[in-house]
Amino acid sequence: MLPRTDTLIDLALEEDAGFGDITSQSIFPVGHSSRAQIVAREQLVVCGLEIARRVFKRYDSSIKIDSAAYDGDRLGKGQTVMVLVGPTISLLTAERTALNFLQRLSGIASLSRRFADAATVADSAVRVVDTRKTTPGWRALEKYAVRCGNCFNHRSSLGEHILIKDNHIAAAGCIHEAVKRTRALAPHTAKIEIEAASMDEIRQALDAGVEVIMLDNMSPSQILEAVALIDKAAIVEVSGGVSLESFAQYALPGVDVISVGALTHSAPAADLSMTISAQQEA
């Protein structure tokens, strides 16, 4: 389990079922049991199976669960993801919370896989990475989903490595001053990355000896110029406005990393549903 997952599950269950499920409790006696299946309603990359399992078990430990897939698997429309047997009230009460986790994370994994496939089609060695544009509290889960989709993670927190952006530069006065201050206080293990929006800023970054240069919202022609200027002296990251449709235009020779905020902030939920069939009353 990822850090704090149980806390998120408890909050979600409390939000949805803190006062019980008046509908299910009105219809079914306590001893009524059912069999349920969670099914993919579209082609997708599944992610969040252990979390969905944990939701059901956290609500009712007597529920029996069999997974029919693994996180990162490509599934076709109609394929079974998970089979559950247990008290009908418990299955129905935990259903939406489990599906919310599963649909959100599978959506991110599916979109990430499409970007990873785009890199393969473009015959590019570029790494597609996410950003910190994540749902508050869900970052570890969403970045896990990105990895399940065969993409990679950028920094997970502000403390992982140094990324000097436009506002840092503006407040410090210039790139050289910002880099000098970070070098004086940063751990020796921390890379220094600069966000550059012009060739002049790239020259300043190179002069300051940074390890990574992020090309911010540059056109493909500007990127080619920047790559030639950097000439392998730093890792080249491209950021801003890269979509699936335009990906090949940015996956250029010399580009090492493309960061895509849409992997997490704009991924549509995957279409999964739970179908249930009554078994018997105790």
Q: Which tens digit of pLDDT belongs to each residue from 172-191?
A: 999 999 999 999 988 888 89
> What is the mean pLDDT of the segment spanning 259-280?
93
How much of the chain exceeds pLDDT 90, in percent? Answer: 91
pLDDT at 86 over 60: yes
Identity at 38, one-letter amino acid code: I
User: Which positions ≥6 away from 5 have C-beta within 8 Å?
Assistant: 51, 54, 140, 141
Question: What pLDDT, on the 0 to 100 scale, is given for residue 124?
Answer: 86
Buried b (16+ CB within 10 A) or exposed e, 11-44: ebbeeebeeebeebeeebeeebbbbbbbbbeeeb
Q: Where are the domains of the chain?
A: 5-115+268-281, 152-259
Residue 2 is predicted with a pLDDT of: 67
Taking residues 96-111, what's their average pLDDT? 98
Q: Are 108 and 264 in contact (CB under 8 A)?
A: yes
CATH of domain 152-259: 3.20.20.70
- Residue 178 Cα to chain centre, angstroms: 30
Q: CA–CA separation, 191 vs 159, rounded Å?
A: 11
- Nearest alpha carbon to residue 104 among 279, 277, 263: 263
Residues 6+ apart with CB under 8 A from 142: 104, 105, 108, 130, 134, 135, 264
The set of catalytic residues is: 96, 133, 165, 195, 216
**pLDDT exceeds cutoff 60 at 83:** yes
Q: How far, in Å, CA of 263 to CA of 26, rounded? A: 41
- Count CA atoms closer than 13 A to 150's CA, side-chain side: 15
Q: Identical fold at 5-115+268-281 and 152-259?
A: no
Q: How far apart are CA 95 and CA 212, in angstroms?
A: 45
Beta-strand relationship, 235-239 and 257-259: parallel
What is the reported pLDDT for 137? 94
Mean pLDDT (the chain, rounded) = 95
**Looking at the DSSP assignment, which residues form a beta bridge with residue 239?**
216, 259
Q: Which amino acid is at 81?
A: V
Residue 127 dihedral angles phi and psi, to the nearest 5° = -95, 130
CATH numeric code, 5-115+268-281: 3.90.1170.20
What pLDDT was estimated at residue 228?
Answer: 98
pTM of the model: 0.95
CA distance 103 to 113: 15
Give the pLDDT score at 156: 94
Q: What percent of the chain has pLDDT over 70?
A: 98
- The residues, ordered by sequence, that sit 6+ positions from 106 with a Cβ below 8 Å of its Cβ are 44, 45, 46, 47, 48, 145, 269, 270, 272
* Residue 241 banded pLDDT, cuts 50, 70, 90: confident
